[in-house]
Structure 1
């Protein structure tokens, strides 16, 4: 199923949180869908008068290293942020759920969303960079791996650089015979007041689960979310990448059912501003 079709799947009822304190107009909206063992999408919708400036998601339940967040994108028009989860080709016996999280705010100055796609590839890994228009900074990122019917290609990187975003994917440990490509979306705006990027890494080890939290400096709040796996070689999947409070971004990943003997780590990106 193509990326656009999967992104359009929106299952479950919305369960929205309240506004984030101390940042007028900025809020985090979070919603979790049904727990079962089928591919599904979940969207967190922004309140009237606000738009998506960033987002992320999480997978909870069984078989986490075998379920990929293969599509993590703002929906057209900026009304919501959507996350799609799919099992790998071996399937998962237990149930799991998708959580979507949206950072919402009145449109900041110069807000624009730009998207692009890489060329189709038969390679084991690929990456694609999408730049913001001149003079604008990237504050949010979305990405998708497209071409496989199950999570045989892993969306492992969603990086926010100052004026661009980078999305990367890699085939899983058993490979994928077909061609695939990457979609990338950059949410861009004029530089924000007090804007800075915080990047934090977990330890570099062979632990089955790794996580890291990036924390904004005092007086600033999370305005953008990013994350990546380093060294996973297609045997590690993201299970969480989202703002877990008004000042923190959490990124977590887990090895697949076969484990992975080499060292790897995760990295969290927080775009912080006043």
Structure 2
């Protein structure tokens, strides 16, 4: 009986030790806040803005709006949403036709308590030329998952439209097209993947939208109890004739992301769609 009691006691202690060890390595729940910065509102370009995280927090994703002011009539293009450890920088340009209206850009940073294994990875398009379309892919280190992403076009200054920012478990895909006027400039595209060891409750969710030839707005929430880490998007079928107007994450009360997209200022007969993608966690 003593041996059985001793074995049971040892087994219970071992079970407690295993439970404690597992708990010690379990991903902690995250706390997020969203910050923003607003550019000047006038009819000059380019327009940059930089949103900084509070001390002790890191960037997991970003957002933007080119509808700040009243001037975005389809003539303003978001050129970059660059992700850094503690801030997000975005820049917008007028397209080839330009506009005399006053416009501005808002840039947002989704900030989180530090995540174990946090890193930012860069992937660049393989060509530097005047090709009509370029993809770029950023890949997380082994054992890590995507929590957010960003993009940057270099060398086109408003003549190129970013068409998608798509997450998978371990990669961020982005794609850009030359706009309606094309360009002879040599340009390239960067994708940013924000990565970490898998946070508690991590998942990718998405919502498709209608396919037609009209301006579009859509919103979508993370599942109940989860918060947005990485807001993302993709346009389908527009092929450079429509572009993102807004990618707006919200941290209270519903942790939703709102998207808006416009056709360029002379429109397109193409039927196209706008899809909402989010990386969420507890």
| TM-score bracket for the superposition, by shorter chain length | 0.7 to 0.9
Aligned twin of 2:206: 199
Separation in 2, partners of 1:134, 1:265: 33
Separation in 1, partners of 2:191, 2:73: 24
Kept in 2, the 8 Å contact 1:69–1:238? The answer is: yes
Determine which structure has more spread, i.e. the larger CA radius of gyration: 2
- Equivalent position to 2:256, from 248, 254, 260: 248
- Count of residues paired in the alignment: 248
Aligned twin of 1:220: 226
Q: Using a 3 Å threshold, how does the CA distance of structure 1 residues 110 and 64 change in structure 2: closer, same or farther?
A: farther
Q: CA deviation at 1:24?
A: 6.0
1:100-134 residue CA offsets vs partner (Å, 9 max, x unmatched): 11111121111011113212132211111111011
| Segments ≥4 residues shifted beyond 2 Å | none
Question: 2:281 aligned with 1:273, yes or no?
Answer: yes
Q: CA deviation at 1:211?
A: 1.8
Mapping for residues 20-169 of structure 1, pairs under 5 Å: 25-38=31-44, 39-60=46-67, 61-75=70-84, 78-118=85-125, 119-148=127-156, 150-169=157-176
Separation in 2, partners of 1:133, 1:151: 32
TM-score (norm 2): 0.84
TM-score (norm 1): 0.87
CA RMSD of aligned residues (A): 1.4
Aligned twin of 2:266: 258
Kept in 1, the 8 Å contact 2:137–2:173? The answer is: yes
Separation in 1, partners of 2:148, 2:248: 11
Kept in 2, the 8 Å contact 1:198–1:214? The answer is: no
Separation in 2, partners of 1:107, 1:57: 23
1:173-212 residue CA offsets vs partner (Å, 9 max, x unmatched): 11111221101111000111011111112211111x1122
Separation in 2, partners of 1:251, 1:87: 20
1:215-270 residue CA offsets vs partner (Å, 9 max, x unmatched): 11111111111112111121111010130344111121101110111110111111
